[in-house]
Amino acid sequence: MKKIPFKGACVAIVTPFNETGINFTELGRIIDNQIENHTDAICITGTTGEAATMNDAEHRSAIKFAVEHVNGRVPVIAGTGSNDTAYAIELSRYAQEVGANALLLVTPYYNKCTQSGLVAHYNKIADNIDIPAIVYNVPSRTGVNIKPETYAKLAEHPNIVAAKEANGDLTAVLRTRKLCGDKLAIYSGNDDQIVPILSLGGSGVISVLSNVAPYDTHMICQNYFDGNVKEAERLQIEYCDLIDALFCEVNPIPVKVAMRLMGWDTGLLRMPLSEPEPAHVELLEKALKAHNLI
């Protein structure tokens, strides 16, 4: 198998904003709390981090800060994907230069592309970097779905080591595992499918749930890897209600509000994201209380 950047639970970390930009003081506190609670890796500037509303300077500064603040304690995965291949290369090379351990590359959105376009896009990026790349399949957001046969082609590139799979299709994951074998690791991109994907040979999760329950998200994976499958299953099922609450509105609205309720200064939601409906705040409160998180 190719060397992968982490095994276990990686937090898709939120970005706390204030009126002037990124609240780096609070981001540092959140990172430290994650590491103290055994998170296996930090994914900065992903979907949950609201990278889509960051300008270029903010995007770069968030990656650089995360690398420097983590200081080698766990791997740092930088979200550097774009629907502009040239910009994705530029940002990916910057992330490599400042010390990111790996890249998370979302499929091109809006302008989209064909399956052959995906192969060309990802191979072009991978040709221009020397650190591992994780391709990110989230068709509900991008309108593009990576087919198992396309994964098989991508897996031939030495720098494309894994996929974050968030299309919800376990049969497609099964077929991808069959076609790719040890050439491509699979991370769950959905918190409600951690154990199912681990059971198909997955290597972990890139998680929203980890923002509020880092230790137990880590333990879902660790128990599975240690052979304590029943305990991994128990935790997966136990957190079903909180996972549902964290996706009652579009991510990351609920998780940032949940973290506020827990006492974190996650700050503003950047437009076009908006504050959740009052009923959804109540749902989050109920789920957090049920798990003794508030």
Q: Residues near 55 by Cβ (< 8 Å), separated by ≥ 6?
A: none
If you write DSSP's letter for every residue of 73-128 in order, what string do you get?
SS-EEEE---SSHHHHHHHHHHHHHTT-SEEEEEPP-SS---HHHHHHHHHHHHHT
pLDDT band at 2 (very low <50, low <70, confident <90, very high): confident
Q: What CATH number does the domain located at 8-238 have?
A: 3.20.20.70
Q: What is the pLDDT of residues 157-205, one digit of tens each?
A: 999 999 999 999 999 999 999 999 999 999 999 999 999 999 999 999 9
pLDDT over 90 for what percent of the chain?
99
What is the model's pTM?
0.96
Token look-up 């087919």 returns 147
Of the candidates 222, 226, 230, 180, the one whose C-alpha atom is nearest the C-alpha of residue 200 is 180
What's the token pair of residue 200?
A: 């198909």
Asked if residue 1 has pLDDT above 80, the reply is no
- Alpha-carbon gap, residue 247 to 63, rounded angstroms: 25
Helix (H, G, I), strand (E, B) or coil at 149: helix
Q: What is the pLDDT of residues 58-84, one digit of tens each?
A: 999 999 999 999 999 999 999 999 999
Asked if residue 31 has pLDDT above 90, the reply is yes
- Alpha-carbon gap, residue 220 to 233, rounded angstroms: 7
**What is the residue extent of each domain of the chain?**
8-238
Catalytic residue among 122, 136, 151, 187: 136
Q: What is the pLDDT of residues 87-97, one digit of tens each?
A: 999 999 999 99
| 239 labelled catalytic | no
Catalytic residue among 64, 153, 164, 256: 164
| 187 labelled catalytic | no
